[in-house]
Structure 1
Amino acid sequence: MIGAVPSRHHGIADDLRRQITTGRIRPGERLPSESGLAGRYKVSTVTLRRALAVLQGEGLVEKIHGKGNFVRRPLRKVTYVGGWGTLDPWTAADVDLRVTVRTTPMVAHEYLPALLRVPNGSPLTEFLCLSYEGKSPHSLARIYVPGDLEPTAVPGDGFSCARAEPSFAVLSPPPAEVRETVSARIPTPDEASTLRINPASAVLAITRIAADTAGRVVEAALLVFPGNRVDAVFTTHHVIDERQTQG
């Protein structure tokens, strides 16, 4: 039986991968233009883009809009510690994260009224936070706070790795209750574009709802991490009834 002949774009991906892993093309280096690479390999730009998509999916290459394709610098993982949206300081200290924050007043619509348990049209503040390692996006967070609550920390400071507990939260002290839902899924087109990842690669999505002692939701956060850039750790503390220990 004759084996199947590898497709042309896989052969191109293999050749580029070999050049990247052997150091011939170095991390951070810009690849030749797509038309230039297509001419070099004597293929159409469609075939060439399929080859690049393979390398993008593997995390070896990233495409920056308006600039071209670059060899991605190895991104180190950080550990997300469940409970109040913190990053493990030991892993976060090794990653130089820079954060951009955009604050937008808005009203609750679509899925937000159910998420924050507020009437449709209620005033909210959205904090759109995008963290970078070097020039590469590392994570995306959308944090929503009811309009009558004022954040006690400047957004962005909580992501600073200089702090003992870098946090994906804008309110303090910690709320009475935090509920986190974790799922692995395919990114939305907007998430894939923002994080510069292959649309077919998996992301770790965390929805965190924080409530006060009265049960009011004081903050809702939607966190998205490329699957190869974070580990999530959750610890359960069992409360022992002292009456059971008394003889």
Structure 2
Amino acid sequence: MTHAVPSLRHAIADDLRTQIATGHLKAGERLPSEPQLAAQYKVSTATLRLALALLQAEGLIEKVHGKGNFVRPPLRRITYAGCGRTPFDPALQVNIRATNLRARGHLRALLRVPSNSPLTEFLCVTHEGKSPHSLARIYVPRDLAPAVQLGLPPRLPGVEAISTKFRETVTARLPTPEEATTLRISSTLAVLLITSVAADATGRVLQAAILVLPGDRADAVFTTHPMTEERESEG
């Protein structure tokens, strides 16, 4: 009976994975440089990078541009509960940047506004320590933007009212180069893309949120409440 021999990249990944699991390589610790690791395992730098890519995809290490590869601390889980509630954990630091822009392309369709309508974008990036954790882009028509509550997350007064309707789309895909760079994740790690649109009783869109949650730390939980109809009995 023959047994499959693991490839060099898998063997290296297994060894580094074991060192992380046993604490030989500790959270936050910088790994030796890629040339040093390649020499240690007697492989080419290209093979070594393939091994590191496996660990990056698993969320065990992260590559910081210009600094090297680091062991990632245990990742805080993100739970998305629906209805436009962006999953900002109070324990995380949130950076918010507001930008004025015009509705074009998919934004015009998403917010159901004429082309070039003025919008305000709120870019929200959460951090756990020094590591990016999740990102959200929240779009609001400019005439409503002054009323936005700049809390965590930015939200319009009354957006949670009973009359507010939410439409949500959940998609799993690979990150864009910009998303991978911002979140410091591997380009091969799937992300959960949640597009949430809130509209009032007249159908006017109050805000649209695009959430990008790395697949190695995200859960989406949706609760359905059955519709009940009360019927009056006739005497």
TM-score, normalised with respect to structure 1: 0.86
CA–CA separation in structure 2 for the residues paired with 1:109 and 1:171: 22
Which residue is equivalent to 2:39?
A: 39
Task: From 241, 244, 247, give the equivalent of 2:229.
Answer: 241
Q: Are 2:22 and 1:22 aligned?
A: yes
Which residue is equivalent to 1:165?
A: none
Question: What percent of counterpart residues are identical?
Answer: 59
Q: Are 2:142 and 1:147 aligned?
A: yes
CA–CA separation in structure 1 for the residues paired with 2:154 and 2:166: 12
Distance 1:39 1:151, change over 3 A: farther
Quote the offset at 1:239 in angstroms: 4.0
* Matching of residues 96-245 of structure 1 within 5 Å: 96-149=91-144, 150-154=146-150, 157-158=151-152, 168-175=153-160, 176-242=164-230, 244-245=231-232
Quote the offset at 1:4 in angstroms: 3.9
Residue pair 1:144, 1:220 contacting (<8 A) in 2 also: yes
- SS of 1:111's equivalent in the other structure is helix
Q: Which amino acid aligns with 1:200?
A: T
CA–CA separation in structure 1 for the residues paired with 2:183 and 2:100: 24
Quote the offset at 1:2 in angstroms: 4.1
Residue pair 1:28, 1:71 contacting (<8 A) in 2 also: yes
CA–CA separation in structure 2 for the residues paired with 1:101 and 1:61: 26
Residue pair 1:31, 1:69 contacting (<8 A) in 2 also: yes
Moved more, 182-191 or 214-223: 182-191
CA–CA separation in structure 2 for the residues paired with 1:245 and 1:22: 66
Which residue is equivalent to 2:82?
A: 82
Q: Which amino acid aligns with 1:172?
A: P
CA–CA separation in structure 1 for the residues paired with 2:165 and 2:92: 28
Distance 1:238 1:6, change over 3 A: closer
Q: Which amino acid aligns with 1:229?
A: R
Q: Are 2:66 and 1:66 aligned?
A: yes
CA–CA separation in structure 2 for the residues paired with 1:65 and 1:129: 21
CA–CA separation in structure 2 for the residues paired with 1:86 and 1:34: 37
Deviations 1:170-223 (A, max 9, x none): 212225111111122222222122212222222111100011122111101100
Quote the offset at 1:143 in angstroms: 0.7
Q: Which amino acid aligns with 1:153?
A: Q
CA–CA separation in structure 2 for the residues paired with 1:124 and 1:152: 12
Quote the offset at 1:30 in angstroms: 0.7
**Aligned Cα RMSD in Å?**
1.9
Task: Give the unaligned 5+ runs of structure 1.
Answer: 159-167
How many pairs were matched up?
Answer: 230
Distance 1:86 1:125, change over 3 A: closer
- SS of 2:99's equivalent in the other structure is strand
TM-score, normalised with respect to structure 2: 0.90
CA–CA separation in structure 1 for the residues paired with 2:182 and 2:72: 15
CA–CA separation in structure 1 for the residues paired with 2:129 and 2:50: 26
CA–CA separation in structure 1 for the residues paired with 2:148 and 2:101: 19
- SS of 1:106's equivalent in the other structure is strand
